[in-house]
Structure 1
Amino acid sequence: MKIAQIQSRVYNDKKKNAEQLKLYLEKIKSERPDLVMLGEMFNCPYETKQFPLYAEEEGGETWKMLSHLAKEYGIYLAAGSVPEIAEGKIYNTAYVFDRNGKQIAKHRKAHLFDIQVEGGQHFKESEILTAGDKCTVFSTEFGKIGLCICFDFRFPELARMMVLRGAKMILVPAAFNMTTGPAHWDVMFRGRAVDNQCFVAGTSSARDTGASYVAWGHTLLVSPWGDVIEEMEGEEGYIIHDVDLKEADSIRRQLPLLSARRTDIYQSENGAEF
């Protein structure tokens, strides 16, 4: 499977973000990617106050544009995430479309980014967003792929659940900042890949020092052995790589972490499983 990860700049103009995506897809079409991945909130400034202004219903203008592009270019399009409105609530939502433009997966960010780092970043998504409640895995002809959004990936239980449901790669549209990025980006992605013996693709927006929220960037792809296949810096651009999801099976046979799990002892004092 050939995966392309686009690290694009996010503009205030939703249409400009859409036009930029089309330019990238045209630019990389000669590479014939099977799956194209975008960053978190790729069409909306990462500010809680902006989410309701940019939010659309599933099936809205942005959804239709993404569906059309997936079909036009014959790709799986893991469309980063966008603000979604449903029944008066706002979600941070990632859609996935197949080569025919059909939506085959949808993940609403389940762990909201509410942090207060001393001397660093403050952010509170829960002021505006509602949390999702699903673990998301979808099927392709290459194998099963998991999907979560940014802060979700800090919780190892969710990554493990995706893998136990068959995922051999996990896609993570994300927007770490200039505090959390240098501290945790690489170690987290490599750690999840090693623990779960799967490919991990983390895709960010590009770094814009003039924005109110400055993304770390550093879009990367990690192997099931924990090797960083490639990592960008903060610039706009993309990376493209061929991956064989069967490599996850090979690593799991050689180092049988998943099959050697002792679920009989992974329990809290009250009997609940971890």
Structure 2
Amino acid sequence: MSKIKIALCQMNVVDNKQKNILKATSMINEAASLNSNFIVLPEMFNCPYSNDKFVEYAEEENTSPTINAISKLAKEHESYILAGSIPEKEDFEIFNTSYLFDKEGKMIAKHRKMHLFDVDVKGGIYFKESDTLTPGNEFNVCECDFGKIGLGICYDVRFPQLAQINVEKGAEILFYPGAFNMTTGPAHWELLFRSRALDNQVFCVGVAPALNEDASYHSYGHSIVVNPWGEVICQLGQKEELKIVEIDLDEIKKVRNEIPILKNKRNDLYEIIEK
């Protein structure tokens, strides 16, 4: 199958884990009723984006009520669900972790955010994830029944090496659940997703929380889908919204035949070598 219906669940995240899980459940149920094949939740969909909340909301994988709920929904609806990310606790460390469930509700991939968001923009945003979070170290490309996908989270999208390696491993869609803010979002969100799609001639998808003006961290929203030509084929606003976007993976072959970037790479001069 070359055509896939992707559901962008741009949900409003509040300071109540149970309410967030119920909201995610509601949007997943609606997405399934609209015949989506692949449902995507935002970064930190069960938790306010705040260092103190990462600690408070953190869950161990084996006992996580959030993971359990999403797994059941994937099985019930026989749909892939990418559970954006949650604060995952292991021993004394907390990770920003994304989970992918298949149509049987089985966890088939997890990605721990590799690049932590530590920024200090003069007159803009100050935030340091490293105050509470530990970075992941693994690349994650997963086989689905329609092909391979590559996983990243938010700030990971700024690093072209991650995208390039995932595509070299066969990924045709790059997913980045994210939560850019009102400083970086207007400046870089669309630009980065178009760049990663254009660089690698793949589809690139970002799903963010809606803007919650009552929260301490203001998400830019603007969940997005970009095609292999670098065109934005869907971009939401700032409010809570569910959008189903159909993509055709055959576009990848077409674009790569027209402009054979991957064939024209000078691997005799440069290459990425994984350690």
| Normalised TM-score (structure 1) | 0.96
Is 1:250 paired with 2:250? Answer: no
Give the drift of 1:259. Answer: 1.4
Choose 54-63 or 229-238, whichever is displaced more: 54-63
Partner of residue 224, structure 1 = 228
In the alignment, residue 155 of structure 2 is paired with which amino acid? F
Q: Which runs of 5+ in 1 are unaligned?
A: none
Distance 1:163 1:28 in 2: 27
Describe how 1:1-274 pairs up with structure 2 within 5 A: 1-59=4-62, 60-266=64-270
Distance 2:180 2:25 in 1: 25
Question: What secondary structure sits across from 1:10 in the alignment?
Answer: coil
- How many positions carry a matched residue from both structures? 270
Distance 1:30 1:2 in 2: 12
Question: What secondary structure sits across from 1:226 in the alignment?
Answer: coil
- Partners of 2:158 and 2:192 within 8 A in 1: yes
Question: What secondary structure sits across from 1:259 in the alignment?
Answer: helix
1:12-39 deviation per Cα after TM superposition (whole angstroms, max 9, x unaligned): 1101011111211222332111100011
Question: What secondary structure sits across from 2:156 in the alignment?
Answer: helix
Distance 1:188 1:260 in 2: 23
Distance 2:88 2:143 in 1: 23
Distance 1:28 1:166 in 2: 27
Distance 2:48 2:132 in 1: 14
Give the drift of 1:52. Answer: 1.3
Give the drift of 1:241. Answer: 1.4
Give the drift of 1:267. Answer: 7.0
Give the drift of 1:254. Answer: 1.6
In the alignment, residue 203 of structure 1 is paired with which amino acid? V
Q: Percent identity?
A: 47
Q: Which runs of 5+ in 2 are unaligned?
A: none
Question: What secondary structure sits across from 1:159 in the alignment?
Answer: helix
List, as ranges, runs of 4+ consecutive aligned residues in structure 1 with deviation greater than 4 Å. none
In the alignment, residue 27 of structure 1 is paired with which amino acid? E
Distance 2:250 2:271 in 1: 31
In the alignment, residue 169 of structure 1 is paired with which amino acid? I
| Normalised TM-score (structure 2) | 0.95
Give the drift of 1:216. Answer: 0.3
In the alignment, residue 110 of structure 2 is paired with which amino acid? K
In the alignment, residue 173 of structure 1 is paired with which amino acid? P
Distance 1:67 1:117 in 2: 38
Give the drift of 1:250. Answer: 2.0
Q: 1:213 to 1:252 in 2, by over 3 A?
A: same
Choose 223-232 or 244-253, whichever is displaced more: 244-253
Question: What secondary structure sits across from 1:170 in the alignment?
Answer: strand
In the alignment, residue 53 of structure 2 is paired with which amino acid? Q
